[in-house]
Amino acid sequence: MKKVLFSLIVGIAFIACNNTDETAQVQTAAPAAPGHLTSIEWVDSARNLGKINEGQELQIAYKFKNTGSHPLVIQSVEPGCGCTVAEYPKHPIAPGEEAVITGAFDSRGRTRLQYKEILVRMNTEPSGVHKLSFSDDVTPTQR
């Protein structure tokens, strides 16, 4: 009886976890249609912005090119924290076309070495998830 009860509880927990994961996945990224994957070339996906002063706001651009034969569709762009925001093209990027994802970093309240990431989900192969990153060294203001 204990084994049956344990199996039932584990089964219910497994189903509940799977439903939560599927819901989250649908909300963050719609899957690309099979056979419509493309490829991408980043000019630079990791940047070192050097030294900045605390309170300074930075703008950063990540340029890319659709090097495949199908339109590139950005499904989601997710900054790693609240001090970073990102903008991206909402329209499909045609084969051979270049585009830019921009990020903004607010260094208020941030000091010393900073490393930030932006995850981009798109219909690319071999992976549909790309990591954009930047680092900087924030000099504290004199108080």
**Whether the Cβ atoms of residue 46 and residue 134 lie closer than 8 Å to each other:** yes
Establish if 61 belongs to a structural domain: yes
Instruction: Please name the helix (run of DSSP H) or strand (run of DSSP E) that holds residue 84, with its range, or none.
Output: strand 84-87
**Whether the Cβ atoms of residue 68 and residue 83 lie closer than 8 Å to each other:** no
pLDDT, tens digit, 9 for 90 and up, residues 78-129: 999 888 999 999 999 999 999 999 999 999 999 999 999 999 999 999 999 9
Do 71 and 134 lie in one domain? The reply is: yes
For 20, the domain range is 1-30
Whole-angstrom Cα distance, residue 89 to residue 12?
41
The structural domain count of the chain equals 2
Do 58 and 113 lie in one domain? The reply is: yes
Do 8 and 56 lie in one domain? The reply is: no
What is the pLDDT, as a whole number, of residue 34?
Answer: 53
Residue 88: name the closest of 96, 79, 25, 46 by CA: 79
Name residues whose C-beta falls within 8 Å of residue 126's C-beta, 6 or more positions apart in sequence: none
Establish if 58 belongs to a structural domain: yes
CATH number for the domain spanning 103: value is: 2.60.40.10
**Whether the Cβ atoms of residue 131 and residue 45 lie closer than 8 Å to each other:** yes
Residue 65 in this model has a pLDDT that exceeds 60: yes
